[in-house]
C-alpha cells in the first residue's frame, strides 16, 4: 500500500461531519429568536424534523 493511500481520510469521516452539520442546523431551526406566529413555528418545526430524519438516514446508510 502506498503512503498516499494510507494517509487518505476514511470515507465515513465525511458522514460524521455531515451529521454534525445537520445537528447544528436542526438546533438553529428549532429555536426562535423572537415570538413567532403559529404558522412560522409549525414551519420551523417541520424543517427541524426533516433535518433530524436526514441525520437518521445518513447514519443508517440509506
Domain boundary assignment for the chain: 37-62
11-39 per-position pLDDT tens digit? 556 788 888 888 888 888 777 677 678 88
Residue 57 has pLDDT above 60, yes or no: yes
d(Cα 50, Cα 30) in Å, to the nearest integer?
11
Phi then psi for residue 13, to 5 deg, are -65, -35
pLDDT recorded at residue 11: 52
What is the pLDDT averaged over residues 41-53?
87
pTM passes above 0.75: no
pLDDT recorded at residue 6: 56
Report how far apart, in Å, the C-alpha atoms of 50 and of each of 20, 32, 42, 43 are: 15, 17, 12, 11
Amino acid at each position: 500500500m502506498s503512503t498516499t493511500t494510507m494517509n487518505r481520510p476514511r470515507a465515513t469521516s465525511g458522514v460524521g461531519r455531515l451529521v454534525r452539520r445537520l445537528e447544528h442546523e436542526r438546533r438553529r431551526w428549532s429555536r426562535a429568536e423572537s415570538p413567532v406566529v403559529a404558522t412560522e413555528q409549525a414551519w420551523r418545526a417541520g424543517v427541524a424534523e426533516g433535518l433530524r430524519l436526514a441525520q437518521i438516514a445518513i447514519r443508517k446508510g440509506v
